[in-house]
Structure 1
Amino acid sequence: MKQSVAGRLKIAFDNSYARLPEGFFELRAPTPVEDPSLIKVNHALAEVLGLNPDDLETAQGVSLLAGNHVPESAAPLAMAYAGHQFGNFVPQLGDGRAILLGEIVGTDGIRRDIQLKGSGRTAFSRMGDGRAGVGPVLREYIVSEAMHALAIPTTRSLAAVRTGEAVMRERPMPGAVLTRVSQSHLRVGTFQYFAARGNTDALKVLTDYAIDRLFPEAAEADQPAAAFFERVLGGQATLIAKWMLAGFIHGVMNTDNTSIAGETIDYGPCAFMEAYHPGTVFSSIDRNGRYAFGNQPAIAHWNLVQLVQCLLPLLHSDPDKAIAQAQSMVDTYPDLFEQALAAEFRRKLGLATKESGDRDLGQGLLDLMAHKQADFTLTFRGLAELVGTGAPAQAKAGELFFKDPEVIEGWVERYQSRLERDPLSSEDRAARLRAVNPLYMPRNHLLEDVIRSAEDGADFEPFETLMSVLADPFTERAGLERFARPAKPEERVLQTFCGT
């Protein structure tokens, strides 16, 4: 049954995090905004949450989404956490511009956080204003929902509203609030917050809570904390493998931006590559390339090391034994990641069976792409054209990818030889390839067009258009050619910005 928010704005929040001990959060209501107005409500997500999207679009609903009205069942709070930011540890960060309204159990039985981002100052804001600009809000809305359409684990966007107020960044820009939905906003940095204070009791409470919330089967293990870490580790290996074969660059893989739930979180200076190269960086604040595209698997490993160090007191009372066990667990990450990456390559290459050389076959294509700066998305999309045999397919490959058939001739021969050992028909394989390799992506120049229109002219039609295109990234549709092509030289976006 849908929960109506009209009238008295009743929502059946059940706030398990608010029942944790003092010190895990600051109770804090959102700061009301001047003149809220709706940008968009995500109808499909609202339905999953059991909310009536039409009610969310009323004046009462917009007031809720802006933070001007807090339902009686909510328990608004700002979460405490720490984190390594570009390798430097900061013992207290926390939600400086986000407030967790509460949790909802959806129609699918899954408990999710409902959080307002850009909802005002908290005890963790430091020198920040606690607000968000419309540009970063639209970027997170678009990219998070695009990731969902690509079947990549992610936080999602329920709504975006304008505040009627300006925020000052490099220049004044219109303010906005994003309603973000996640299976949990727990981060590696949440565990670091208590570990840095030597508060083992709080670490135990937090770990038990995370297990109950996200991995209840781990509670039955001989060592629940170890079982918990192994599940987080596996989730990160899978997530990063999916990033790598979508051409996604997070941009700020700090430990406070690393979700325990295995979801992509905190879309700041994120971007999708066009011309492929593993050293690609877009983030204006990543001056040394720490979070370059090709570094992401190793950074995830590093972040997991920080997490398991927090868990040492829960693994064994003997520090040496705890360290040995932690090392043995974290050392499994490279193999788990490689297995996940091989599985992703098989999907992207349209393979139904497993062979030991599949990982190398996929990497061989990436190496050619890097050599020729081929477009990441269109190269994989074009594989559906290569399910035939012989010279025509090789010529087509050169035309599609590199404008030089000789560059890819050897790889096409390897690929076609592999396909001959795979049971799918050419027609089925082509359909499979088109079903997993998108044609439409939130390319950086498209995002910038949306943001510019919203900031400069309060024009949200380009946002709506792009959202409708990205809702189905795999099906080619007439009239949408400009959304599939790479940026022209004059359209290229070389840097992306965090927005805080």
Structure 2
Amino acid sequence: MTFIFDNSYARDLPGFYVDWRASAAPAPRLLRLNRGLAEELGLDPDLLAREGAGIFSGNALPEGAHPLAQAYAGHQFGGFSPQLGDGRALLIGEVTDRNGRRRDIQLKGSGRTPFSRGADGKAALGPVLREYLIGEAMHALGIPTTRALAAVTTGETILRQEGELPGAVLTRVAASHIRVGTFQFFAARGDEAKVRQLTAYAIARHYPELAAAPEQPLAFFEAVVEAQAALVARWMLVGFIHGVMNTDNMAISGETIDYGPCAFMEAYDPATVYSSIDLQGRYAYGNQPLVLGWNLARLAEALLPLLDPDPQRAVTKATEVLETVGARYRRHWLAGMRAKLGLAGEEPGDGTLAEDLLAAMQAQGADWTLTFRRLSDAVADAGMLRPLFRDASALDAWLPRWRARLAPDAAERMAAANPLYIPRNHKVEQALAAALAGDMGPFDTLLEVLADPFTERPGLEAHALPAPADFGSRYRTFCGT
């Protein structure tokens, strides 16, 4: 089956986008196809394998597609840009998957649009493969995320800070590409009617259970707050650092979107930053819950006229919801931390127990992923855990308190909650470097490892280990734009 489109965004929201076509790719080649996702979308992977180069490069337009560049604004590192939009991406349409869920199909890196702001609108192969890899890793970890359907090379060379690089296009699948910045775009222009129209569309698409809510815009805002609090808590529990939590990179659906300078933390340190453009550490690992609240406040500002005709009452209603962000995040984080620690039931001191372990990890530079994974072994014997700490005295003082709270099946529960394999930064870089040299083998191996992150498998020991010392402590990631 080919694409069967039902393009509600194009149909229901005129004025929210610009119709556009992808730039021609001179020699497109299908590099990778996500066959499992294709089947989930009700597509024929064999047909896509034959015809995908043209479709996924933007050269061939499937029947029923409606390519468009979406308009949005956004706060980028705290500064507001009233017009951003899809500067290198095109939504080609929407399909309904086998589970009845509406999904966007977007080309990323398909050339200039009216929102490109002087940029070339293209993507380099390395960032395309990074997003493919990290998105699939997050999906396997159970974290809501956009996913890659395909990666194609375009046959052209593009210029970036690192030099000349092979061009590529990523085909991205999302619940939608509606962002906080989409609301900001129209709110900044004082277009209350369009903010209201967008809110009604987002409710129907993402939160249909709110159809009968007495105060729909307020209920919608609260639903987004809950979804985003749960999402960021999940990031924190696996050590994920998004790297560019601008409001235009925050999806209303509650999915992780826009994998640019993202990375997974190794040694636990809340100040960890990998992004080369985050010079002040605004989006450091430990700041992500704070930025969550800040971004949601910007959404509240855009929605204020909808919350109440009286401006002061609208601010009061928004503030009441915003004041719950911290507690919502803490609830999700603590529930996840109880699972990671294998705790029985819920007790008031569980948060302190978790935070004391984190303090010991930070002081000793313990690896985030391996510490939690090896805790399951420490149920019987702490011998596997102590080598992760330079000085295990704080750990030894903590272990008896932890063991007193363990569930009877703690080891099994912890193994299911704590991944062994994450996209280790050095492994990601090795895979991308090999791909740029024409060898996709390391990429495919890493993708296979990350598809089952909780199951220990012989022969994969190197994929569970932190980066070697010669990898360097100043590892930096780049946006790819």
Task: State the TM-score bracket (shorter-chain normalisation).
Answer: over 0.9
| Partner of residue 277 from structure 1, selected from 249, 269, 272 | 269
Moved over 2 A (4+): 20-23, 393-397
Deviation at 1:403, TM superposition (A): 4.3
Q: Are residues 1:39 and 2:31 paired?
A: yes
Conserved in 1, the CA contact under 8 Å of 2:13 and 2:198?
no
Deviation at 1:429, TM superposition (A): 2.1
Q: Are residues 1:375 and 2:375 paired?
A: no
Which stretch shifts more, 75-84 or 354-363? Answer: 354-363
| Partner of residue 360 from structure 1, selected from 352, 364, 375 | 352
Cα deviation code 1:390-434 (max 9, x no counterpart): xxx3454323x2143323111101101111xx3x2xxx3212211
Q: Are residues 1:458 and 2:446 paired?
A: no
- CA–CA distance in 2 between the matches of 1:21 and 1:387? 55
- CA–CA distance in 1 between the matches of 2:149 and 2:344? 36
- CA–CA distance in 2 between the matches of 1:437 and 1:125? 41
For 2:216, the equivalent position in structure 1 comes to 224
TM-score (norm 2): 0.98
Given residue 120 of structure 1, which amino acid in structure 2 is its aligned partner? Answer: G
| Partner of residue 431 from structure 1, selected from 404, 412, 425 | 412
For 1:322, the equivalent position in structure 2 comes to 314
| Partner of residue 110 from structure 2, selected from 105, 119, 133 | 119
- CA–CA distance in 1 between the matches of 2:114 and 2:344? 52
| Partner of residue 418 from structure 1, selected from 394, 400, 405 | 405
- CA–CA distance in 1 between the matches of 2:412 and 2:209? 37
- CA–CA distance in 1 between the matches of 2:317 and 2:172? 36
- CA–CA distance in 2 between the matches of 1:488 and 1:379? 17
TM-score (norm 1): 0.94
For 2:52, the equivalent position in structure 1 comes to 61
Cα deviation code 1:334-354 (max 9, x no counterpart): 111111111010111123411
| Partner of residue 69 from structure 2, selected from 71, 78, 83 | 78
Does the residue aligned with 2:385 lie in a helix, a strand or coil? helix
User: Where does the alignment leave 5 or more consecutive residues of structure 1 unmatched?
Assistant: 6-10
- CA–CA distance in 1 between the matches of 2:412 and 2:14? 54
Q: Are residues 1:398 and 2:389 paired?
A: no
For 2:238, the equivalent position in structure 1 comes to 246
Conserved in 1, the CA contact under 8 Å of 2:30 and 2:52?
no
- CA–CA distance in 2 between the matches of 1:80 and 1:360? 44
Cα deviation code 1:160-196 (max 9, x no counterpart): 1111111110101001110100001000000000000
Q: Are residues 1:255 and 2:247 paired?
A: yes
For 1:470, the equivalent position in structure 2 comes to 450
- CA–CA distance in 2 between the matches of 1:121 and 1:100? 13
Given residue 124 of structure 2, which amino acid in structure 1 is its aligned partner? Answer: G
Does the residue aligned with 1:245 lie in a helix, a strand or coil? helix
| Partner of residue 137 from structure 1, selected from 128, 143, 147 | 128
Conserved in 2, the CA contact under 8 Å of 1:82 and 1:92?
yes
For 1:156, the equivalent position in structure 2 comes to 147
For 2:79, the equivalent position in structure 1 comes to 88
Does the residue aligned with 1:445 lie in a helix, a strand or coil? helix
State, as a whole percentage, how many aligned pairs show the same letter: 55
Conserved in 1, the CA contact under 8 Å of 2:364 and 2:390?
no
Cα deviation code 1:273-297 (max 9, x no counterpart): 1111000011000000010100000
- CA–CA distance in 1 between the matches of 2:57 and 2:344? 47
Deviation at 1:302, TM superposition (A): 0.2
- CA–CA distance in 2 between the matches of 1:305 and 1:438? 33
For 1:8, the equivalent position in structure 2 comes to none
- CA–CA distance in 2 between the matches of 1:52 and 1:377? 37
- CA–CA distance in 1 between the matches of 2:438 and 2:155? 11
User: Where does the alignment leave 5 or more consecutive residues of structure 2 unmatched?
Assistant: none
Conserved in 2, the CA contact under 8 Å of 1:397 and 1:408?
no
Does the residue aligned with 1:447 lie in a helix, a strand or coil? helix
Deviation at 1:72, TM superposition (A): 2.0
Conserved in 2, the CA contact under 8 Å of 1:271 and 1:496?
yes
Deviation at 1:44, TM superposition (A): 1.1
